[in-house]
Amino acid sequence: MEQLVKELQEAVVGKVLQDEPLANHTTMKIGGPADVLVEPSSLEMLQVTMKIIQKHNAKWTAIGRGSNLLVSDLGIEGVVIKLGKGMDDLEIQGNEIIVGAGYSLIKLVTIISKKGLSGLEFAGGIPGSVGGAVYMNAGAHGSDMSKVLKRAHVLFEDGKMEWLTPEELNFSYRTSLLQKERPGICLEAIINVVQGEREKVVAQLQKNKDYRRDTQPFNYPSVGSVFRNPLPNYAGQLIEKAGLKGFSIGGAKVSEMHANFIVNDNGAKAQDVLDLISHIKKTVLELYNVQLETEVEIIGRK
C-alpha cells in the first residue's frame, strides 16, 4: 500500500490521504478509516488513479457526498475514491445539462430552476451528488432520474468506461445496473430538461424543498430514507404503526419526525445503526408480514 500511495502522490492525481476517517465524508457522520482516500482533481486524474490501483491489484470503492452511505466502524479496505471537486463540472447546452458526478444535486436543481429549466424539481432537497442519484435512481414526488437522464458516463470494476442509456442502465425503483448486475460508478451525466416558466419552476422546487424540510429530520445527521418502500405500503408508515418512532439503540434513533429515517442522535456507531435496522426489520415482519429492504448502501469491513 505504501508504494501505491507513493505512486499516487508522484502522479499528482489530487488529494491523497491515508487512514482518513470516513465519518468526515458521510452525512451520517459515521465510519471508520479508509486505508487510502483519493479525491481526483479531474476525470483524467481519475483514469490515472485507476491505472495505479489496477497495477497494484488493490481493492477500490467509490463514494460521492456520502448521503446514502453507512460505512462500517472498521472502515474500508483499499482505496476509496471520492468524486468531489474536480469531478463537478457543469455545462448547460440548451435543453441538455452535462454535469460531473461530484456535483451537488440540490445545487444543480437550484441553478437550473432560476433559468426556468424544468424536469429536476423532484430532486429539490435530495442531499446527494449527481453520480449517486444516477447510481440509485434517486427520486421523489412521482419522478426519478430514469425519467430525465439521457446518458451516463460509467466506470466499471475492471477500469473500463462506457456511455450508457437509461435502458442500458436497467433502471427500476431506487435501483440500477450499477448496484449489483454490473458494479460501477457514474462519472458524468447528460440530463434532459425543458424550458418552462421561471416563476412556476422555482415555485414548484420551493414547494418540494419545503415539504422535505417540514417532514424530514434535517437537524440530525442521517443517511436519508433507510428502507425502500414496499409498495403499495410505505416503510415509514409501517415503522410508525409498529410503535418504533423514537426507539433507539446506542446513539442511533428512529426519527420522531419521519420513521423511515435513522438519526445519529448521540455519537452513534455503525453497529448501533445496523442493530437498529435489524430490530426494525424483525418487528415489521412479525407484525405485518412485510420484509423491509434497505435503501441505504452498507459498505466496509465486517
Closest CA to 179 of 77, 20, 78, 299: 299
Arithmetic mean of pLDDT over the chain: 94
pLDDT the model gives residue 267: 95
CATH class of 90-213: alpha beta
Q: pLDDT per residue over 200-212, tens digit each?
A: 999 999 998 888 8
Q: Residue 206 to residues 35, 60, 147, 150, 243: CA-CA distances in angstroms?
A: 41, 38, 21, 25, 32
φ, ψ (nearest 5 deg) of residue 89: -70, 150
Residue 157 has pLDDT above 80, yes or no: no
- Domain spanning 2-82, CATH class: alpha beta
- Mean pLDDT to the nearest integer, 216-222: 90
* Percent of the chain predicted with pLDDT > 90: 79
Q: What is the pLDDT of residues 267-280, one digit of tens each?
A: 999 999 999 999 99
Q: What percent of the chain has pLDDT over 70?
A: 100
Decide if 205 contacts 124 (C-beta within 8 A).
Answer: yes
For the cut 80, the answer to whether the pLDDT of residue 294 exceeds it is yes
Q: What is the mean predicted confidence (pLDDT) over 285-295?
A: 96
Instruction: Specify the pLDDT at position 218.
Output: 84
CATH number of this structure's domain 219-299: 3.90.78.10
Residue 156 has pLDDT above 90, yes or no: no
Tens digits of per-residue pLDDT, 61-76?
Answer: 999 888 889 999 999 9
pLDDT for the residue numbered 183:
86
Per-residue pLDDT, 92: 95
Taking 90 as the threshold, does the pLDDT of residue 181 lie above it? no
What is the location of CATH 3.90.78.10 in the chain? 219-299
Task: Return d(Cα 196, Cα 3) in angstroms, integer.
Answer: 53
Q: What is the pLDDT of residue 126?
A: 84
Positions marked active-site: 174, 225, 295
Tell me if 101 sits within 8 A of 185, measured CB to CB: yes
Task: Write down the pTM of the prediction.
Answer: 0.88
Residue 130 banded pLDDT, cuts 50, 70, 90: very high
pLDDT of the residue at 127: 81
Q: Pull the grid cell for residue 199.
A: 416563476
| Domain ranges in the chain with CATH number 3.30.43.10 | 2-82
pLDDT of residue 2: 92
| Residue 141 pLDDT | 85
| Pair 36, 79: CB distance under 8 Å | yes
As annotated, the residues of the chain forming the CATH 3.30.465.10 domain(s) are 90-213
The mean per-residue pLDDT over the stretch 193-219 comes to 90
Q: In Å, how far are 62, 120, 211 from 215, measured between CA atoms?
A: 30, 20, 6
pLDDT score of 129 more than 80: yes
Q: What pLDDT is attached to residue 215? A: 86
Residue 281 has pLDDT above 80, yes or no: yes
